[in-house]
């Protein structure tokens, strides 16, 4: 069962805010939605964040349920829990992929991140980030380059991964 998104690509956005979701991404979304079965529309959650967030996050139902459980484990009433509740619950919408494999991005979300005729999707494991292509290049690409500059030229970023016990 596919569970992770892989890759990045720019897709056309039509005048109604619809963008086609590649079949490989749809398989991950379907496999991660316990309520989905053939003939039904798979569910997803779009987290749009506050006014400073200029990208959208598209979560599978499994991923959002894991986050919900982590929030539930936090101290009720703590500032950190309130912040995450507002972000993940209050600044998000649940929606579906339509029968033609498209996601409709509401106008207020398109306007928030400046999307017009193209959207850049980049995988982040169990969720996707959706950017205006130019914003991604200017901000996220720049952030990654700056981080890479902290390490030697031949540094392998996989060495940052924690070791895992096998057995």
Per residue of the chain (167 residues), give pLDDT as tens: 457 999 999 999 999 999 999 888 999 999 999 999 988 999 999 999 999 999 999 999 999 999 999 999 999 999 999 999 999 999 999 999 999 999 999 999 999 999 999 999 999 999 999 999 999 988 877 788 888 899 998 999 889 889 887 65
Structural domain of 46: 8-153
CB 84 within 8 A of CB 74: yes
Q: Can you say how many angstroms the Cα of residue 167 is from the centroid of all Cα atoms in its chain?
A: 32
| 163 assigned to some structural domain | no
| 158 assigned to some structural domain | no
| 14 assigned to some structural domain | yes
| CA distance linking residue 129 with residue 14, whole number of Å | 19
| 12 assigned to some structural domain | yes
| 130 assigned to some structural domain | yes
For position 104, which CATH number holds?
3.40.1550.20
Q: Give the pLDDT score at 22.
A: 85
| 43 assigned to some structural domain | yes
Q: What's the alpha-carbon Rg for the chain, to the nearest Å? A: 17
Total number of domains in the chain? 1
CB 31 within 8 A of CB 53: no
Q: Give the pLDDT score at 165.
A: 75
User: H-type helices in 32-87, by residue range?
Assistant: 61-72, 79-85
Q: Can you say how many angstroms the Cα of residue 124 is from the centroid of all Cα atoms in its chain?
A: 7
| 91 assigned to some structural domain | yes
Q: Give the pLDDT score at 161.
A: 87
| CA distance linking residue 140 with residue 75, whole number of Å | 32
Q: Give the pLDDT score at 167.
A: 58
| 149 assigned to some structural domain | yes
């Amino acid at each position: 069962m596919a569970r992770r998104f892989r890759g990045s690509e720019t897709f056309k956005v039509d005048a109604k805010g619809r963008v086609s979701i590649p079949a490989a991404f749809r398989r991950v979304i379907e496999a991660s939605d316990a309520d989905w079965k053939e003939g039904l529309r798979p569910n997803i959650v779009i987290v749009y964040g506050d006014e400073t967030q200029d990208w959208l996050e598209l979560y599978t139902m499994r991923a959002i349920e894991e986050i919900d459980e982590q929030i539930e484990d936090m101290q009720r009433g703590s500032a950190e829990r309130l912040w995450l509740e507002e972000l993940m619950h209050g600044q998000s919408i649940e929606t579906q992929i339509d029968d033609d494999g498209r996601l409709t991005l509401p106008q207020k979300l398109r306007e928030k991140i400046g999307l017009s005729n193209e959207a850049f999707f980049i995988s982040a494991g169990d969720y996707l980030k959706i950017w205006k292509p130019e914003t991604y290049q200017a901000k996220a690409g720049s952030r990654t380059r700056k981080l890479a500059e902290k390490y030697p030229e031949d540094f392998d970023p996989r060495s940052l991964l924690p070791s895992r016990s096998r057995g």
